[in-house]
Amino acid sequence: MTTAPGETARLDRLRAGLGRRTGSRWQPTDALYRGLVLGTGLICVGVLLHRLEPVLLGAPLLLSTVLALAGARPPAEQPTLWVHPPPRVGESTSAGVGIEVTGDVEWTAVRLPAARRDRPPPTAEVRPGGRRRLTAAAAALRAAVGEADETVHVLPGDGGPWRAELPRRRWGDAVELRPDHLFAGPDALLVYGPVTGVEIRRTVLPPVVALPAGPLPPRAAGLVGVHRSVQPGDGTELRDIRPFRPGDRLRRIDWRVSARSGAFDPLRGGVGWHVRERHAEADAEIVLAVDTRIDVGAEIGDWMAPSEARSTTGSLDATVRAASALAAAYLRQGDRVGLIDLGRPQLSVPCAAGRRQLLRLRGALATCARQAGWAAQPILRPRQVPAGAVLIVLSPFLDDAVVTSTGQAARRGRVFGVDVLPGPLTSDASMPWGAAVRTVLTLEHAGRLRALAEHGVRVVRWDSDGAEAMAALRGARRRGGRR
């Protein structure tokens, strides 16, 4: 689409105004000053030099500027940009934002986030409820802005509403947009702003992979659930058949056994009543301990790079995805699940059950990932893990401190480990000793896993979907029996 010279000039004025801090009031642009000063100057030069040519050049410029300024008076109503933000917490990585302008303006320049290179830039579309459609000049101006700067979008000042898509590459908590905007009057001779927009944050919850539940405590606890308890109660699995005692409910009577025992024989006086005793059903408590102190990828040379470069392939991403899948698997069968951040214990979540707990855990995982950072000592206190609960530690196991904490926790209860270190590790080709470093790191990592095995901690490696890891954990439970 071609752009007319006049529209190109308007575009330049809007972009120049958007880059200048003029405050929240109507201000003249450089085009207005240039028209007045240059027109008046040419006329004065022509009069002083007694030449007609400067007057013929300056008079139309001055006259057109004055006429445009007469029609570009600042409106009495203060213009406002209304942004309808997306939900603060959601499942989808893409969301839409609504934009609406109130006030008598001709053009509105809005700064929106740039899209990815393999996709077209986000565009604003006029909904059917708009007061009028985009004109050809506005479409040309918007196309020119998209070619020059993907983050700046020029919209006609007809009020809208418009809608723009905000794509996201991954889960997490981040600033979606800060809609800095600028209003322009007729011919862009007067502008209002630029106005700094309010930051809009949005949390995309980590994805959930459908997996069966893993290992359980040797003895379930609680009052409700799907696991058999050692205590008698109102369950579904038969525990024993015993003689009737005072306080037993009539619906528990086993009529067949009672009949064979002579309960209906009048000579025996009703002796022989028997009742069915069942196992109580209880829930299990699972505690997920995530190691957010370290975020490394398969490339050893990128370990010192910012974590954004490996956001979708690093150990922290695998930790969050694995914890989300494990929490969903246990909560689906009615168990109680909690969360511990080894680096920042204040972000921990106590054990609870239900769908609301899954949303709470996924939101807490996103918060833990956002505030992740190095801590010299992982914090895993005994009071953080309820008695009889299963502790699952998710870590790349690259330091001795987390191995020591996990081994100490194994002395108090049932502990499993999930290795989230991306593999196989790739040496740094830019260093002459890169292969030796990779060998040392691999041997140290294997030694830590053997140390955990000596403490009775079964460690499984987390794959892309987690199916093999969960199968290995369930197999370890069947072979090991109850502790």
| CATH code, domain carrying 406 | 3.40.50
- Same structural domain for residues 112 and 192? yes
Q: Which pLDDT score is estimated for 483?
A: 38
Domain for residue 34, yes or no?
Answer: yes
- Same structural domain for residues 315 and 452? yes
CATH of the domain at 96: 2.60.40
CB 218 within 8 A of CB 380: no
Q: Which pLDDT score is estimated for 284?
A: 80
Q: Which residue carries 């008698």 as its tokens?
A: 232
- Same structural domain for residues 336 and 420? yes
Q: Which pLDDT score is estimated for 262?
A: 67
Q: Is the Cα torsion angle 256, 260, 266, 268 positive or negative in sign?
A: negative
Domain for residue 1, yes or no?
Answer: no
- Same structural domain for residues 309 and 454? yes
Q: What is the pLDDT of residues 256-307, one digit of tens each?
A: 777 777 666 655 555 677 877 765 555 688 999 999 998 998 888 888 776 6
Give me the residues paired with residue 26 across strands: 192
Q: In b/e form, how buried is each residue of 333-358, taking b as 16+ CB within 10 angstroms?
A: ebbbbbbbbbbbeebbbebebeeebb
What proportions of the chain, in percent to the nearest 5, are helix, strand and coil?
A: 35, 25, 40
Q: Which pLDDT score is estimated for 76?
A: 63
Torsion angle of C-alpha atoms 214, 217, 219, 220, degrees rounded to 10: -70
- Same structural domain for residues 274 and 289? no
Q: Which pLDDT score is estimated for 475?
A: 62
Q: Which pLDDT score is estimated for 274?
A: 80
- Same structural domain for residues 174 and 101? yes
29: phi then psi, degrees, rounded to nearest 5:
-95, 175
Residues of the chain with pLDDT under 70: 1-24, 71-77, 113-151, 158-159, 214-239, 262-271, 278-283, 306-311, 474-483
The domain tally of the chain equals: 4
Q: What is the pTM (predicted TM-score) of this model? A: 0.67
Instruction: Provide the domain limits for residue 150.
Output: 80-204
Q: Determine whether 474 is exposed, middle or buried from the number of CB atoms within 10 Å of its CB (0-12, 13-18, 19+).
A: middle
- Same structural domain for residues 446 and 305? yes
- Same structural domain for residues 455 and 361? yes
Domain for residue 289, yes or no?
Answer: yes
